[in-house]
Amino acid sequence: GVFVVGSINQDFVLRLERRPEPGETVTGAELSLFPGGKGANSAVAAARLGARVAMLGRVGEDAFGADLVRNLREAGVDTTHVGSVPGVPTGSAFITVTPDGENAIVVSPGANRSFGPREVDAAAEDLRAAGVLVAQLEVDAGAVGRAARAVMGAGGRFLLNFAPPREVPEGILALADPLVVNEHEARFLLGEAGGEPEAAVEGLLGRGPRSVVVTLGAEGALLAAGGSTRRFGAPEVEAVDTTGAGDAFVGALAARLAGGDGLEEAVPYAVLAGAAAVTREGAQGSLPTPEEVEGLD
């Protein structure tokens, strides 16, 4: 199965005419609440595509946290290792969207930052039983590294989605198989040496992972593994909202790898899942079913 060590957020989406200047009040904003967090999104994505999925994460002891855990459970995710932390708010993202479609986001990590290697050790038995670990960087890097070693020690693989990009202990990159990045994250890791995606994968492999996947939006994705690089094009779709495309991609990739596929089969499937996700609004709400993914093939 798939085991996700990651973030669980309450997303507050505010549609407004314009953002306030410092000291100013803007009224008339329309608020919508959505379940979010890259960890939870990818867990739900993998579960919707038929994988057995468990998650390790933390929420606050508040109404948002309770709702988010229920949402995960209803999506079929095993929440045995999702706990609530007293005195800390549930992770939140405040997303302002203006009529031009531009968004500006403030994130409060809250409870997502209140677990580390110790909490990973408490879940070690289930981690070792999972074939594929998925992690992003919205949670403690020490916890991610510990989980990766546990899974790999039992013969499983570690899928690291380098999002949102930030400095991490170098050893973590070398455990990844694959390292999954979008073009922005690739540039963060490579600095100015970014350049063409085909050249970027060489630089990324140089950081130590066994395999690299670079997602290219409407252009699909590049896979570098076993000494060769291949590009898988995305189908043409009407892009309504690209929020969560990367999380859908990662969840689908993990689901296929856990089902026994190699990267050569799993990456093109994940490309289709990402494309399906951009045809609908929202992050978790837009995650595709197997029928929707296959319909794009």
Q: Give the catalytic positions in this structure.
A: 247
Q: Does the footprint of ligand ADP cover residue 216 (CB under 6 A)?
A: yes
The site string for ligand ADP over 228-247 (x = CB under 6 A, - otherwise) reads ------x--x-x--x--xx-
Torsion of CA 259, 265, 270, 272, to 10 degrees: -120
CA distance 268 to 72: 26
Q: Does the footprint of ligand ADP cover residue 221 (CB under 6 A)?
A: yes
CB of 234 to ligand ADP, least distance (A): 4
Nearest of 85, 92, 15, 27 to residue 57 by alpha carbon: 85
Q: Does the footprint of ligand ADP cover residue 112 (CB under 6 A)?
A: no
Candidate list 50, 116, 217, 290; residue touching ligand ADP; CB under 6 A: 217
CB of 61 to ligand ADP, least distance (A): 31
DSSP state of 206: T
SS3 105: strand
CB of 178 to ligand ADP, least distance (A): 13
CA distance 260 to 104: 39
Q: Does the footprint of ligand ADP cover residue 220 (CB under 6 A)?
A: yes
CB of 91 to ligand ADP, least distance (A): 19
The β-bridge partners of 230 are 223
Given the complex with ligand ADP, which of 60 and 274 has the nearer CB atom? 274
Candidate list 68, 159, 278, 293; residue touching ligand ADP; CB under 6 A: 278
Contacts to ligand ADP from residues 248-277, by CB under 6 A = 249, 271, 274-275
Strand order in the sheet with 132-135: 77-85, 53-60, 2-5, 132-135, 157-161, 179-182, 212-215, 221-225, 228-232
Q: How many residues does the chain have?
A: 297
Q: Which parts of this chain interact with ligand ADP (CB under 6 A)? A: 182, 215-218, 220-221, 234, 237, 239, 242, 245-246, 249, 271, 274-275, 278
